[in-house]
């Protein structure tokens, strides 16, 4: 029952390189499903988490990013039910409670509103599921679904998005939706934004469209472009979880959505100072590039046209000539930004966006440069990663003490480049390490960070990884 808009396989090796470990995961999930429902699941659906090598907090300003998909994924298995409901259970039933919900997208909002705190993960399932079938299916299948996964939670590796994407694929596949891949991607982004995060689209794009063995260079301007990129040989990428959570939805007003709002403020200030006339104020910093200015030139404009200071709400409103409530319309839960803050940093946020975008283009250029050997590319890429971390910490203020401690340990023990990945304020780091030094590096980080801080360390907390495939349906012929 293969469909043209999603990847489908009956070969386990198409999905994973670590076959034995992941077969055990599928077997455990199948056994729990049988215990719950008395039958084996018909299909598994997986969607990977991701690591962003460089390009943090700039996708929502329409600038490019450079992620690759992890083998770690959100994993669902399902069979059809005789009723018209969706029966949802979770592998970790103590932390994530079960629920029976309507399969009708029209009832999405009321279903989400009825969830208890320990059922709150289901809102990501609902958002994803509805994104693939809303307006595309006349009748909806009843389903029995078990949810699991090994993407580190609240870590900056897109565990929530991977659940959204896997649920969207389940909805498309189970209901034989006719939605095309481009529309599906757009819907996933839109429906996840409806949960409150002003996301830019990177996480959904890489989880859905990732290519095995390649990173993706993803452009987010009006002519969206996705290129697969071969990374240099001889290095491994290591994910290390700081084990300080990066809880995006719980801190929107003070962190993620505040940064989106500050970028919009910077955009308005620059627009006025550059005497740019438009029917409506621009909403992203890329729109300000009107005369083929380079990103270096845009950084200079920030330095000369925006005063480097802390702005109060009243000062921002005086500059923009309207109330913040009106100015920030369209940013999810912007009311939290307004009520929880009276300090805004448009200078620093804009300077980060333009400098980080420049680093992404340099990263891409270096990877594609046929005049350079892999050995010559490695230190250039490492330097760009380190510069990105400096900007995230000092200009975007999205690092943390524990992330900085972990990054310093990684660099001290041989990481050529090391930086936070994801939204920040906790979560994971990514480090580029020479493969020949990998085992020594892993042991050193385990000893100097995890054991020193009395923290548990396993294969889902500290691990080397390589680019994996995007979302996929697996027909259960083995478990």
Greatest Cα pair distance in the chain? 68
Confidence of residue 1 (pLDDT cuts 50, 70, 90): very low
The residue among 459 and 420 whose pLDDT is bigger is: 420
Check if the beta carbon of residue 14 is closer than 8 Å to that of residue 469: yes
Give the residue-averaged pLDDT of 129-144.
92
Please report how many Cα atoms fall inside a 13 Å half-sphere around the Cα of residue 439, on the Cβ side. 1
Q: Are 384 and 416 in contact (CB under 8 A)?
A: no
Residue 4 has pLDDT above 70, yes or no: no
What are the helix (H) ranges across 79-180? 108-113, 122-133, 159-175
Q: Per-residue pLDDT tens for 149-174?
A: 999 887 888 899 999 999 999 999 99
What pLDDT shows up at residue 199?
Answer: 77
Q: Are 417 and 432 in contact (CB under 8 A)?
A: yes
* Strand intervals (E) in 174-321: 215-219, 225-229, 235-241
> Which tokens hold the place of 471?
């979302």
Q: What is the pLDDT of residue 263?
A: 98
What percentage of the chain reaches a pLDDT higher than 70? 97
Backbone torsion region of residue 284, taken as left when φ is above 0, otherwise alpha when ψ lies between -120 and 50, otherwise beta: beta
* pLDDT reported for residue 212: 92
Measure the CA–CA gap between 403 and 430, rounded to whole angstroms.
11
Mean pLDDT of 419-445: 96
Output the pLDDT for position 333: 86
Assess contact for 393 and 419: CB atoms under 8 A. no
Q: What are the domain boundaries of the chain?
A: 7-230+467-475
Cα 379 from Cα 374, distance rounded (Å): 10
Mean per-residue pLDDT of the chain = 93
Tell me the C-alpha to C-alpha distance, in Å, between residue 382 and each of 156, 356, 367, 411, 417.
Answer: 20, 14, 12, 10, 4
Instruction: Please tell me the chain's helix, strand, coil percentages from 3-state DSSP, rounded to the nearest 5.
Output: 45, 20, 40
Higher-scoring residue by pLDDT: 114, 415: 415
**Structure-token match 């891409």, residue found:** 364
**Residue 131 backbone phi and psi in degrees, to 5:** -65, -25
- Residue 467 is predicted with a pLDDT of 94
Helix (H, G, I), strand (E, B) or coil at 32: helix
Please give the radius of gyration of the chain, using alpha carbons only, rounded to the nearest integer. 22
Span 311-361, pLDDT tens digits: 999 999 999 999 999 999 999 889 999 999 999 999 999 999 999 999 999
Beta strands 417-421 and 462-465, pairing class: unpaired
For the segment 120-131, the average pLDDT, to the nearest whole number, is 94
User: Is 228 a residue whose pLDDT tops 80?
Assistant: yes
Per-residue tokens: 137: 């299916």
| Residue 94 confidence class, pLDDT cut points 50, 70, 90 | very high
List, by residue number, the catalytic residues.
Answer: 203
At 188, list the tokens. Answer: 């996933």
* CATH for the stretch 7-230+467-475: 3.30.230.10
Q: Centre a 10 Å sphere on the Cβ of residue 368 and count the other Cβ atoms it contains.
A: 13
CB 429 within 8 A of CB 419: yes
Cα–Cα distance list, 290 to 46, 60, 260, 274, 293 (Å): 42, 19, 21, 10, 7
Q: What is the pTM of this model?
A: 0.89
């Amino acid at each position: 029952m293969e469909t043209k808009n999603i990847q489908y396989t009956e070969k386990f090796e198409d999905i994973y390189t670590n076959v034995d470990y992941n077969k055990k995961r599928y077997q455990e999930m199948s056994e729990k499903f049988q215990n719950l429902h008395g039958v084996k699941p018909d299909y598994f659906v997986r969607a990977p988490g991701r690591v962003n090598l460089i390009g943090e907090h700039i996708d929502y300003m329409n600038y490019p990013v450079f992620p690759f998909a992890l083998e770690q994924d959100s994993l669902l298995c399902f069979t059809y039910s005789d009723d018209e409901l969706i029966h949802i259970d979770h592998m970790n039933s103590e932390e994530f409670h079960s629920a029976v919900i309507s399969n009708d997208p029209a009832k999405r909002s009321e279903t989400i509103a009825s969830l208890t705190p320990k059922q709150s993960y289901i809102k990501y399932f609902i958002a994803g599921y509805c994104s693939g079938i809303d307006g595309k299916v006349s009748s909806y299948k009843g389903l029995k679904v078990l949810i699991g996964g090994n993407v580190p939670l609240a870590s900056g590796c897109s565990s929530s998005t991977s659940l959204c994407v896997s649920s969207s694929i389940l909805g498309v596949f189970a209901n034989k939706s006719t939605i095309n891949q481009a529309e599906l991607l757009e819907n996933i982004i839109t429906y996840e934004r409806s949960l409150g995060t002003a996301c830019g689209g990177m996480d959904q794009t890489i989880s859905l469209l990732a290519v095995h063995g390649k990173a993706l260079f993803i452009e987010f301007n009006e002519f969206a472009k996705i290129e697969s990129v071969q990374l240099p040989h001889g290095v491994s990428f290591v994910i290390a979880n700081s084990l300080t959570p990066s809880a995006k939805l719980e801190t929107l007003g003070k962190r993620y959505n505040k940064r989106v709002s500050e970028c919009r403020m910077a955009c308005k200030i620059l627009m006025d100072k550059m005497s740019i006339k438009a029917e409506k104020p621009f909403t992203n910093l890329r729109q300000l590039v009107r005369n083929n200015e380079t990103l270096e030139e845009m950084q200079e404009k920030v330095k000369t046209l925006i005063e480097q200071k802390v702005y109060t709400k009243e000062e921002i409103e005086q500059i923009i000539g309207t109330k913040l409530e009106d100015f920030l319309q369209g940013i999810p839960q912007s009311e939290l930004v307004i009520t929880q803050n009276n300090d805004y940093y448009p200078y620093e946020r804009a300077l980060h966006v333009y400098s980080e975008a420049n680093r992404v283009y340099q990263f891409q250029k270096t990877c594609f440069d046929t005049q350079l050997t892999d050995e010559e590319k490695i230190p250039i890429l490492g330097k760009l990663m380190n510069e990105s971390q400096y900007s995230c910490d000092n200009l975007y203020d999205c690092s943390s003490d524990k992330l900085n401690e972990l990054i310093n340990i990684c660099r001290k023990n041989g990481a050529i480049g090391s930086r936070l990945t994801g939204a920040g304020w906790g979560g994971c780091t990514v480090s580029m390490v020479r493969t020949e030094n990998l085992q020594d590096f892993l042991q050193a980080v385990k000893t100097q960070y995890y054991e020193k801080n009395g923290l548990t360390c396993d294969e889902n907390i500290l691990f080397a990884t390589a680019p994996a495939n995007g979302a996929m349906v697996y027909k259960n012929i083995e478990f």
